[in-house]
Amino acid sequence: MIGRQRHHAGRHLALLGLLLCMSGPFLAHAVPMVNDPKGFQSLSWGVALTTRPDLKIASAGPHVNEYQLRDSQPLFAGIPVESLRFLSVDEQFARVTIRYQGDDRHKQILTYLEQQFGSLERIAGQMMRGLNQQYNWRGTDTEINLTYHANTERGFIFIDSRTLAPRFNDHITDSAE
């Protein structure tokens, strides 16, 4: 039974990979970060989020906790977003995840990220459009990854501590395989 489930899971992963390849160009661009924030807004990487009165637990686990803003509309760079989550691993702030929708918001967010962390125009031959787009800014302490799906107009941003975020992988359960 378990072997059969793994066989089906393998087929599903292969099909997913094939669909992603067929859905159009998936553009990935890495840009060296010019202004590493060493955290997010006023939070430095590694701080305990439990001390923040403006945050509440959205999801708790033995090693990984997810927080959200207690009483305010989630904003990124002054732009309304669907969700803004702060994640800690072993009680150390390590990641921010942001979800948004809409092509106009995507353009605003991409413009902000370029202004703050480095222009994407430095890379020769780069396309700014496509069904699936991925952009990455890499600093000494921080990495920002933006993924945008043009067909659904959904965007996802991960802002990670380069030293702490890899520890999330240490706590993935065997059931996630």
Domain assignment present for residue 7? The answer is: no
Report how far residue 10's alpha carbon sits from residue 18's, in angstroms, rounded to the nearest whole number.
12
The answer as to whether 100 is a domain residue is yes
Residue 1: inside a domain: no
Residue 6 counted as domain residue:
no
Question: Would you say residue 137 lies in a domain?
Answer: yes
* Domain count within the chain: 1
Structural domain contains residue 90? yes
Confirm whether 76 is domain-assigned: yes
Cα separation, 17 vs 15, whole angstroms: 5
What DSSP letter does each residue of 53-84 carry, written as one string? TTEEEEE--SSEEEEEESSS--EETTEE-SEE
Q: Give pLDDT tens digits along the chain (177 positions).
A: 544 444 444 444 343 343 343 344 444 557 889 999 999 998 999 999 999 999 999 999 999 999 999 988 999 999 999 999 999 999 999 999 999 999 999 999 999 999 999 998 644 444 455 688 999 999 999 999 999 999 999 999 999 999 999 888 776 654 444
Q: Which domain holds residue 168?
A: 25-176
Domain assignment present for residue 2? The answer is no
> Can you give the pTM of this predicted structure?
0.77
